[in-house]
A = this chain, B = another copy of it.
Amino acid sequence: EETNDGVVDGVRVPVVRLKFGEVSEASNVVVLPVCRAKEKEREVLEAPWECKSQGEFGLVVAEKGWKSWVVLPGWEPIYGLRNGGVVVSFSDARVLPWKVNRWYMEEAILVVADRGRKEVAADDGFYLVAVDGEGLKVERGSALKERGVEESLGTVVVVVRPPREVTDDQLNDEDWE
């Protein structure tokens, strides 16, 4: 279940829906390198680590070239994340370990992870991992610990859903089916 502010109950990772023009209302924006989920961990490991914001125009200067980038509002969990921050784009939300409704399943999501925090530290934290045969997934700390996994690709700091014409309040699977 998602609460109004986009935070899933009992889950420490905010799930935020972008608003139209929001990369926008933010007084600052963050530019992060994007990896394709289908490339598994390869791109997550290769993506530039350091993306400095430089000078008066806020030029983004990475330590190496990268093809794909995303501009996000400077939300609290993302801002200041530039070292080791990375975004993985998934075609739907099935990679998330919590139950999702039908609409959610049909939506693309972005998972923003901090590669500077690879250690599987918190039971109720969420981590980006590469699972053999399944590719990239988001898993709960407790589930990883049970399997003896101590290191992830990075701690998940926020999950971003795409902007929608209709708000979730107006159209809700649970309410109408």
Q: CA–CA, A92 to B133, complex, Å?
A: 54
Give the most central of A20, A28, A29, A65: most B CB within 10 Å.
Answer: A65
The minimal Cβ–Cβ distance linking A170 to chain B, given in whole angstroms, is 19
Contacts A63-B67, A69-B69; A57 near B89 (Cβ below 8 A): yes
Give the most central of A57, A61, A67: most B CB within 10 Å.
Answer: A57
* Copies of this protein, total: 2
Contacts A31-B69, A65-B64; A58 near B89 (Cβ below 8 A): no
Q: Which A residues form the contact surface with B (CB < 8 A)?
A: 18, 20-21, 23-29, 31, 34, 48, 55-71, 89, 108, 110, 160, 162-163
Q: Which residues of B contact A67 (CB under 8 A)?
A: 48, 61-66
Query: Quick one: closest B residue to A52, CB to CB?
Result: B68
Contacts A24-B24, A24-B26, A29-B29; A70 near B65 (Cβ below 8 A): no
Contacts A24-B24, A65-B67; A108 near B57 (Cβ below 8 A): yes
Query: A61, B68: Cβ atoms under 8 Å?
Result: yes
Q: Which residues of B contact A64 (CB under 8 A)?
A: 65, 67
The minimal Cβ–Cβ distance linking A44 to chain B, given in whole angstroms, is 15
Query: A62, B58: Cβ atoms under 8 Å?
Result: no
Q: CA–CA, A88 to B110, complex, Å?
A: 30
Q: List 11 additional contacts besides A21-B27, A61-B67, A66-B66; criterion CB under 8 Å.
A: A21-B28, A24-B26, A29-B29, A31-B31, A31-B69, A57-B108, A59-B89, A60-B71, A61-B68, A64-B67, A65-B65
